[in-house]
Each structure stands twice: as C-alpha cells, then as structure tokens.
Amino acid sequence: MRILPVFFAAFALVAQTPPAVISPTQKIVLFDGKSLDNFYTWLIDNKFQDPKHVFTVRDGVIRVSGEEWGGLTTKNTYRDYHLVVEWRWAGPNLGARAGRARDSGILVHGIGEDQGTWLESIESQIIEGGPGDFILIAGKGHPTMTANVHELAGQPYWDEKGTPKTMDRGRFNWFGRDPKWTDTLGYRGPNDVEKPLGEWNRQEVICDGDTITNIVNGVVVNKGYRVTPTAGKIQLQSEGAEIWFRRVELLPLDKRQAH
C-alpha cells in the first residue's frame, strides 16, 4: 500500500518532464509526402480537431485550405537547424482576408501552451510581397530579436550595415520589401524574390544559437540575432490563403551557410 503513492508521484514527475530538444545531426524529414505523422493540428475554433480538413495530404503535398486559422505543429521541439520549406500559392484568400494579399508563414521557436491562434514564436513570414519578413508573435510572453536596420516610413528594413534595433513585437521587413506595399491580392513589388504565382518557392530558416537567417529562393533577405527563445516547435500557418507545401525538412547546421 505504501508503494502506490511513490509510484504515482514518480509517474507524475515523468509526465511533467518536458520532451528533449532535438538538434539535428542528420537530415530529419518532417514531411515524407505521405502523412502528417510528425505534426498535430491546432485550429482556433476546433482546437486539436480538423473537421473542415484544413490540413490534408494529396499527391505528395500538404494542402492547407486556409479556411480556419491555426497551424500544423511539430510534435517535437528543435534548436540549431537549417529548415528547408518549399511552398506555393494555390488559391485566393478566404473569409476576412478575401481580396487581400495571400498570407501564411513558418513559425519557429514556438513555446507555451496551444491557445489563441498560434504559439508564442518568431515568424518567417510568407505573404505576397513579404516572404522573409520577421514577425514577433506574442503568447504569455514576448519573443525578442535584434536586427541591423534602416528606417523607412517609420518601419525597420533589414540592412546588414544598419543600426541595431531590438523589438519584442512587430515586424522586421526583409531588405527589398516595397515601401508602397498594399494588402491587396496578387501584390508584386519591384524587388520581390518570390516566384510568380503558381510556381514553387524555397524558403530556408537557419536557426543557429540566438541567430536566425531567412533565405528566399537563394537570397539572404533577413537576419536577426540576440533572439529569445532559441528553441521550440515549428508551425506552418493557416491564415486565410490556400497554400501547398511539398518539402519540409531539417538539416544539420553548416557553419559556412549560417554566416
């Protein structure tokens, strides 16, 4: 009889122990073209259920309808990795974002409880005209980031030779974002590195200690440092636009690529 309390106390301790944070030593394929086994769904209205089939796998791609806001979230947590994601737009925006720029995102270092819309995290933005922006997404706390920037029309644009700026909310624009950008469907800026509508894009997020680098179609577009937190889950957003993902994988850090 005296063993039972000890057993249950030990079980409770194990249950409360957070999972180990994984730092890849070889390629980790998060999406194998067949299943979503490495993820769980979180949707603002239906929580861990997906009755509207917002996230499906068909013909070797993840199809995100955008009908309900939320995210496809990794079951594991990660740090120090080179994330490669290939994506393309597949339809217009829905609901409150109808007629506006197609919008989604890759969230890294997601921490905290599943509540609200997304985890407290740092977003590598995917939006027409703005892939590679950083957005700081609050939860119970606020992530932080410093980036070298120049200010234009009151907004910070990444500039490797610019002035350090630290924020715990808001957005760091990628260096070529059009200052005249408008939230309109199909928006294209003169310096955009995003491929034309319907073509596949390659977006890379290199997380190296407290530094994050965004690369879009081979171009380094944004970089932040003194980042907190430095580890967490990864989310692929559903945010009103239909978007497809065909490659989601983690590579070990190559120090030659990370700097």
Average pLDDT rounded to a whole number, residues 240-251:
97
Q: What is the pLDDT of residue 18?
A: 56
7 has a pLDDT exceeding 50: no
135's tokens: 């957005």
pLDDT surpassing 50 at residue 92: yes
Structure tokens at 175: 């260096």
Confidence grade of residue 14 (pLDDT, cut at 50, 70, 90): very low
Q: What is the mean pLDDT of residues 138-145?
A: 96
3-state SS, residue 73: strand
- Cα–Cα distances (Å) from 80 to 37, 42, 90, 206, 234, in that order, read 22, 24, 31, 8, 13
pTM for this entry:
0.91
Assign residue 126 a region (left: φ > 0; alpha: ψ between -120 and 50; beta: otherwise): beta
Percent of the chain with pLDDT over 90: 86
pLDDT of residue 177: 98
Render pLDDT for 22-77 as a digit per residue (tens, 0 to 9).
999 999 999 999 999 999 999 999 999 999 999 999 999 999 999 999 999 999 99
Distance CA 193, CA 5 (A): 61
Segment 145-158, tens digit of pLDDT: 999 999 999 999 99
Q: Taking residues 225-242, what's their average pLDDT?
A: 98
Cα–Cα distance measured from residue 201 to residue 217, given in angstroms and rounded to the nearest whole number: 6
Give the per-residue pLDDT at 13: 38
Euclidean distance between CA atoms 18 and 21, whole angstroms: 9
pLDDT at 2 over 80: no
Grade residue 255 by pLDDT with cuts at 50, 70 and 90. Answer: low
Query: Residue for token digits 């950008």?
Result: 181
- Least confident interval from 8-22, 98-112, 210-224: 8-22
CB 192 within 8 A of CB 219: no
pLDDT digits (tens, 9 = 90+) for 158-197: 999 999 999 999 999 999 999 999 999 999 999 999 999 9
By DSSP bridging, strand 77-78 and strand 21-22 are: parallel
So what's the pLDDT on residue 94?
Answer: 87
Helix (H, G, I), strand (E, B) or coil at 219: strand
Computed over every residue of the chain, the mean pLDDT equals 92
Q: Is 13 exposed, middle or buried (0-12, 13-18, 19+ CB in 10 A)?
A: exposed
Check pLDDT > 80 for residue 15: no
Kindly report the number of other CB atoms within 10 A of residue 96's CB atom. Answer: 8
In the chain, where the domains are located:
20-258
User: And the tokens for 17?
Assistant: 């122990």
* 58-61 LR contacts (CB < 8 Å, sep 24+): 60/33, 60/34, 60/246, 61/33, 61/244, 61/245, 61/246
CATH number given to 20-258: 2.60.120.560
pLDDT at 9: 41
Q: Which helix (H) or strand (E) holds 135?
A: strand 134-137
What sign does the dihedral 199-208-103-178 (CA atoms) show? negative
Please give the pLDDT value at position 237. Answer: 98
